[in-house]
Structure formats: structure tokens, C-alpha cells
């Protein structure tokens, strides 16, 4: 099977590509290698993939540029799509809203149009737990109303779900949206809490605890997320007019992929301290604009339909990340 993976040099895209290659799939990746964080990390992820020339190719393409997207992939056979590329980050949206409009709205629409033009068998795409906003109904259920996003990022992800619903309804393209919950692990993103806290502890710098430390997150280890993505890829929703998770009667399903537990920020800090062998210096800060105080995934639908069962608590996942981070930082220092 030939699979297009967008954001293939990103955190989740790298791990998904690695798993697909390992099971013998042909992976065609695209990534724009932008400067949201150091592009060197993306380049090193791609270089770390265990590939031969026939297994994987990654084109430096911005999928917000529809003409270049179609031209680059014109002679490539593609059966299914895993659309993970996006402008990430809740707080960055207040600084650079145009990046979100370009990548998450125009870019998503371009990928949908590409899927339609190629009559792909199934398109799996990344949504986000941020669509739930400040809902007080925990754990978050996919059937909940998500009409009040508190960040631009969340608004674009909700819009992506609606655009995907329209393509599934109009053209019968099987679509699966995955609402990810705070993904972390080796090769992660430098703007995420686990990376930032680990970096601060090891360098003796203070950790900023937003909302004065009163936050809870459903931290989900990357291996568990990848298992959910691959399970979703292998199970396209049927065009049978039956109601799918998320409420669609088109071939479009939406699932939460989370660890199914809301961890206190203090527990994350304690796990990082234990893995680093150092105490953290902390600084209490107010809640940033667009951030939420708690996330917690109800994974009932994903467990039933996809067999999704996360198995990695932060007591296991955090040491795995810290081990990787120390090795990565030492290699950077040596170069």
C-alpha cells in the first residue's frame, strides 16, 4: 500500500512513518520544514528513519500551495492519506494567526481536494483535544458540542472536521478524524511541556507552571498514539448511513486518542524530577490566553472500534523521553 503522510518530518509524522515502513508500506512524505522550531530537528528525524530508497521519500512541500502539491505528487500512486501536517501550538496563534489560516484551513482543504481527485480509499487526519475548549464535562466525549473554541488553533481544527464531513458526505470519501491529547515522547516538539520542563530541570532553570500549577493534562505517549493512528488507517468508516462516533451518517468518524487519565501538572514535574535525578525550580504564572485548565479523553469509541488501549503511564513514558533527550542534547553539544 502506498500512503501519503503529511508532516512526515514532524513529531507524530516521524513515528507513524517509521511504523508504516516497518510493516512494509511505501510512504510518500511531505513537510514544509518551516521555522516554528529548529528545522534541524525535522531533518534529523527524517535521517533517523530506517529506510531504503523504495520505502520512503519526503518532499519539501508546503501543502498550502495547492499547485505545487499537485505537481509534486502527479506521478505518485497513493492509496491512503494520513494528514498530520499543521501549524501547531495554542499560544502561537495570538502572534501569527496567518500561519494557522494558511496551513490548517487552506492546507487542509488542499489535502481534501487531493484526496477527492485521487479517489483515495481512506483519509485519516489529525484534530485536537483543544476543540473542547473550557468544557467542564470531563472526560471529553466526541459527541459533545464543541462550538466555543478559545484559541485560533482550536477553531481551525474544528473547521477541519467540518470540511472533512462535507467531503465525506458529498464525495463518499472515508474520513477519520483523531483528536490527539497532549502527545509526548522521544523526538518530541520543543514547545511542549515535557520537553521544556526536562530542558529546564537539566539546565538548572525554573519551570513556568501556568495557571499557578493548577492544570491537568491527558499526557499520551507517542507509541500509544501511533497504535491508534495505524488502527484507524486500517479501519475506514463504512458508507452505510449508520451513525458514526462524532455523529456523522456519512463515512466519517471522529475519535479521541488519549491516555484516558488527567494527570496533575505536579505529577508530571515529579516524574521529570525522578527521571532527571534533580529537583525542579518552579515559577507560578497565570494561564496564557487560549490555554485550557484540564483535558481528559473518553476513549470508549476508540477502544470499541479501533481496539485502542493506551498502556504507557507517565512513570514509564517520561523516563523514556528524558533518556532520549539527554542523548540528543549530548550529540548536539558534541557537534
Mark whether 153 is an active-site residue. Answer: yes
User: What band does 6 get if pLDDT is binned at 50, 70 and 90?
Assistant: very high
Within 13 A of 50's CA, how many CA atoms are on the CB side?
8
Query: 25-74: per-residue pLDDT in tens?
Result: 999 999 999 999 999 999 999 999 987 667 799 999 999 999 999 999 99
CATH architecture of 2-186+221-258+296-312: 3-Layer(aba) Sandwich (3.40)
Query: 210-233: per-residue pLDDT in tens?
Result: 787 778 899 999 999 999 999 999
Average pLDDT value for the chain: 94
Q: At what angle do helices 11-22 and 39-48 cross, to 10 degrees?
A: 10
Whole-angstrom distance, CA of residue 251 vs CA of residue 257: 19
Residues 182-192, mean pLDDT to the nearest whole number: 96
Is 160 within 8 Å of 229 (Cβ atoms)?
Answer: no
What does 16-43 look like in DSSP terms, one character per residue? HHHHHHHTT-EEEEEE---SSS-HHHHH
Residues 14, 125, 132, 153: which is the catalytic one?
153
Is 252 within 8 Å of 168 (Cβ atoms)?
Answer: yes
Report the predicted TM-score, pTM, of the whole model to 2 decimal places: 0.95
Whole-angstrom distance, CA of residue 258 vs CA of residue 217: 10
Q: Which of 170-174, 193-197, 281-285 has the lowest mean pLDDT?
A: 281-285
Structure confidence at residue 53 (pLDDT): 62
pLDDT surpassing 80 at residue 105: yes
**Sequence ranges of the domains in the chain:** 2-186+221-258+296-312
Q: How far is CA 182 from CA 18, 84, 104, 256, 290, in A?
A: 20, 14, 18, 11, 15
User: What band does 290 get if pLDDT is binned at 50, 70 and 90?
Assistant: low
Amino acid at each position: 500500500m502506498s500512503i501519503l503522510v503529511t508532516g512526515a518530518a514532524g513529531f507524530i509524522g516521524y513515528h507513524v512513518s517509521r511504523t508504516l515502513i516497518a510493516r512494509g508500506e511505501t510512504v510518500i512524505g511531505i513537510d514544509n520544514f518551516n521555522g516554528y522550531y529548529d528545522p534541524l530537528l525535522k531533518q534529523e528525524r527524517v535521517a533517523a528513519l530506517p529506510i531504503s530508497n523504495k520505502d520512503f521519500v519526503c518532499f519539501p512541500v508546503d501543502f498550502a500551495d495547492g499547485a505545487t502539491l499537485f505537481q509534486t505528487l502527479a506521478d505518485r500512486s497513493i492509496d491512503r492519506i494520513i494528514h498530520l501536517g499543521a501549524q501547531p501550538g495554542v499560544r502561537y496563534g495570538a502572534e501569527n494567526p496567518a500561519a494557522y489560516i494558511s496551513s490548517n484551513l487552506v492546507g487542509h482543504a488542499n489535502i481534501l481536494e487531493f484526496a477527492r481527485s485521487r479517489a483515495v480509499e481512506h483519509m485519516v487526519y489529525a484534530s485536537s483535544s483543544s476543540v473542547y475548549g473550557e468544557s467542564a464535562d470531563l472526560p471529553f466525549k466526541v459527541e459533545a458540542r464543541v462550538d466555543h473554541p478559545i484559541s485560533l488553533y482550536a477553531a481551525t481544527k474544528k473547521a477541519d472536521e467540518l470540511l472533512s464531513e462535507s467531503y465525506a458526505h458529498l464525495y463518499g470519501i472515508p474520513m477519520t478524524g483523531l483528536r490527539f491529547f497532549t502527545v509526548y515522547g522521544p523526538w518530541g516538539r520543543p514547545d511542549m511541556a515535557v520537553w521544556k520542563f526536562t530542558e529546564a530541570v537539566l539546565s538548572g532553570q525554573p519551570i513556568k507552571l501556568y495557571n499557578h500549577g493548577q492544570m491537568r493534562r491527558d499526557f499520551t505517549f507517542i507509541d500509544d498514539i501511533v497504535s491508534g493512528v495505524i488502527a484507524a488507517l486500517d479501519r475506514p468508516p463504512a458508507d452505510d448511513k449508520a451513525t458514526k462516533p462524532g455523529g456523522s451518517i456519512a463515512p466519517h468518524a471522529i475519535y479521541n486518542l488519549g491516555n484516558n487519565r488527567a494527570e496533575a501538572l505536579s505529577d508530571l514535574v515529579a516524574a521529570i524530577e525522578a527521571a532527571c535525578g534533580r529537583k525542579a525550580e518552579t515559577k507560578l504564572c497565570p494561564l496564557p490566553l487560549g490555554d485550557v485548565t484540564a483535558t481528559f479523553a473518553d476513549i470508549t469509541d476508540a477502544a470499541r472500534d479501533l481496539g485502542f488501549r493506551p498502556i504507557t503511564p507517565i512513570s514509564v513514558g517520561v523516563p523514556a523521553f528524558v533518556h532520549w533527550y539527554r542523548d540528543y542534547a549530548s550529540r548536539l553539544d558534541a557537534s
